[in-house]
Chains A and B, each alone.
Chain A
Amino acid sequence: AQSVTQPDIHITVSEGASLELRCNYSYGATPYLFWYVQSPGQGLQLLLKYFSGDTLVQGIKGFEAEFKRSQSSFNLRKPSVHWSDAAEYFCAVGRQTGANNLFFGTGTRLTVIP
């Protein structure tokens, strides 16, 4: 069965500092992996996705993520955080075929301090 673990419930970083949000997944085959961001009162916006190929994926808003099969991880990174990045971040895994049903992690809330 698929599952996603985001071990950090809440992270606080200073503006301009680097960021890494952790995500570990469990899936029997090569998964589809996603990172979504949710601002308060809003729906989810896709930051980036990994299906195959290059394990370093570039996304919107300066985010990137690296797929590491040996560690079952798909960590999200940003070299310099902006105050507007404060939000909740969700990692998700999807099956390669079949449906648009994603399994989401419980999310990591990011606070950015000036």
Chain B
Amino acid sequence: KAGVTQTPRYLIKTRGQQVTLSCSPISGHRSVSWYQQTPGQGLQFLFEYFSETQRNKGNFPGRFSGRQFSNSRSEMNVSTLELGDSALYLCASSWTAGSGYEKLFFGSGTQLSVL
């Protein structure tokens, strides 16, 4: 079984631009969560999608948004990029959402640099 695939692997943008990151979960997994990882703040939860619905959201501004498609693939979008948005964005998938029992499988992440 293929793992969680995130594209692109690296991305360089300038302030004010917008960016879309993609995540393909493990086949059969219906929950996709997004995390932001920075040296200063560590790993922070962005949001989770299950069956095309956002189930939970972290404490991030509205510039961060996401969606999930019927095949469980997910995208996250960041509009009006700021320098502080430079981070590794990790996607994680699991079989279900919210049970707490499910193991999260993480992708290798998309490294976003904002200049």
Interface residues of A (CB under 8 A from B): 32, 36, 41-46, 49, 51, 90, 92, 94-107
Contacts and interface: CB of A to CB of B under 8 A. Distances in A.
B8 interface: no
B54 to A, nearest CB: 10
Interface stretch (B11-19, B67-75, B77-85, B91-99): B91-99
B42 A106 contact: yes
A87 to B, nearest CB: 13
Given A45-B106, A100-B33, A101-B48, A51 B90 contact: no
A49 B4 CA distance: 20
Nearest to A99: B56
Contacts, number: 66
Given A99-B56, A104-B42, A42 B98 contact: no
B109 interface: yes
A95 B45 CA distance: 13
Nearest to A96: B100
B33 A43 contact: no
A95 B100 contact: yes
A97 B109 CA distance: 26
Given A96-B100, A97-B100, A44 B55 contact: no
Q: Determine which residue in A49, A51, A105 has the highest number of CB atoms from chain B within 10 A of its CB, and name it.
A: A49
A89 to B, nearest CB: 12
